[in-house]
Amino acid sequence: MIDLSVLTTIGAIVFIVVFFIYSKIQLAKQHEKIKKINEEKYRETLRLAEERHKECISKLDEILRRLEK
């Protein structure tokens, strides 16, 4: 028959392994959420930069038209 201390040790090892795997899964989920948020922020930043660029070009065109007069 297996000694109680051996069973306790095996149980502790199994618990640690299961907890480690669970932690890794949770970290992977968090990583995906953060990645998605960062991608959304990047797209929004890019959109704002393009919008700002168009505004600047429009203002420059207006200035050039005024200078041509």
pLDDT grade for 69, boundaries at 50, 70 and 90: confident
Distances (CA, A) of 64 to 18, 43, 55, 57, 60: 68, 31, 14, 10, 6
Angle at 35 between CA 33 and CA 37, to 5 degrees: 70
Per DSSP, helices labelled H in the chain are 4-68
Judge whether residue 15 has pLDDT over 90.
Answer: yes
The pLDDT assigned to 1 comes to 73
DSSP 8-state class, residue 3:
-
pLDDT tens for each residue of 21-60: 999 999 999 999 999 999 999 999 999 999 999 999 999 9
pTM of the model: 0.62
CB-side neighbour CA atoms (13 Å) of 47: 6
